[in-house]
Amino acid sequence: MRAWRVTRPGPVTSGPLTPHREPVPTPAPGELLVRVLACGVCRTDLHVAEGDLPVRRPAVVPGHEVVGVVEELGTGVDRGTVAVGDRVGVPWLRHTCGRCRYCARGDENLCPDSRYTGWDADGGYAEYTTVPADYALSLPDGYSDAELAPLLCAGIIGYRALRRAQLPPRGRLGVYGFGGSAHLTTQVALAEGARVHVMTRGAGARALATDLGAASVQGPADPPPEPLDSAVLFAPAGELVPVALSALDRGGTLAVAGIHLTDVPPLDYDVHLFQERQLRSVTANTRTDAREFLRIAGRHRMRVSTVPYSLDDADCALADLAAGRVVGAAVLRPDLPGRRSWKE
């Protein structure tokens, strides 16, 4: 099969991904072998490739927004819950212990033994991947494979960030950065009656935000036209934390959605935090978050803006993401022809 591996983490311009031909993996006990139909390109993949995140599996195959077809069941898989031929999602969260105090109280995303697709184990920048059956996700009908792929991380993490931001009913939400996750989260907030103000760079992103129904669109450091009840920071830019906090109304909450953030400048307590303003982080997601979000996506047909790339051109997709050239979400498809000449 064709697969990309992060063999030398570093700037995307240095070529951290290398293409390989290798055998199709064998599912371990309790796992599914999945033939990849589409794999979203997430900013977390960029952090893995560039070394912003520490290496957890040397030469890992990145990718954790995988839509695919079950090809084989490992031993011990409950055949009453999944079958060969089923379309499933392979998300970021891959394993939790189920026994620690965090798992016991429903916060499995904080499990110290948590593991992740495309970081701890090989992911979807390949023609085949594996997933523990208990962590594979059922997918809503009415979407193409490419449309479903970004829902599996961008959508799920954005949904958790929105809940962490404690948006009140019909509240005023600020969205900082407008890529694959933000454009999905905005639609959930709008469906729930929120007024959404988008702060982002790039003409394409601003146009998409306007088209989706944002009440206002301005630059990333510009103040919104009204105080915000809640805000979500999607851009991995720590310098926007004080900007977003200062835009909050009294009692407002800012949730930081990313797994990586550049340094946050010093905060002024009176300006940024007093009057019970809150700053909250987001760490991965639970399976409950994933199922809730996918049920919402099944009830409310979401507009998923995607840019298709051949699997052969995964390095180009990652470079375009890093340069801000992708409006919406980049999605790799093994069925599309590409330019790559693969090594044996």
Q: Which of 188, 187, 200, 283 is nearest to 234 (CA)?
A: 200
pTM metric for this prediction: 0.91
- Sign of the Cα pseudo-torsion (310, 313, 319, 323, in order): negative
pLDDT in the model for residue 344: 44
pLDDT at 72 > cutoff 50? yes
Query: What would the pLDDT profile of 226-277 be if each residue is shown by its tens digit?
Result: 999 999 999 999 999 999 999 999 999 999 998 889 999 999 999 999 999 9
H helices of the chain, in order, are 43-50, 101-104, 145-150, 156-164, 180-191, 203-212, 240-246, 287-299, 314-322
The angle at the Cα of 114, spanning 112 to 120, to the nearest 5 degrees, equals 125
CB 47 within 8 A of CB 79: no
CB 330 within 8 A of CB 179: no
Q: Which of 234, 216, 238 is nearest to 179 (CA)?
A: 234
For the chain, domains (ranges, CATH) are 2-143+304-333 (3.90.180.10), 156-281 (3.40.50.720)
Residue type, 155: G
309 token code pair: 């790339």
Query: What would the pLDDT profile of 288-329 be if each residue is shown by its tens digit?
Result: 999 999 999 999 999 998 999 999 999 999 999 999 899 888
CB 130 within 8 A of CB 32: yes
Query: What would the pLDDT profile of 75-89 be if each residue is shown by its tens digit?
Result: 999 988 999 999 999
Write out the DSSP string of 18-30. EEEE-PPPPPPTT
Ramachandran assignment for 150, one of left (phi > 0), alpha (psi -120 to 50 degrees), beta (any other): alpha
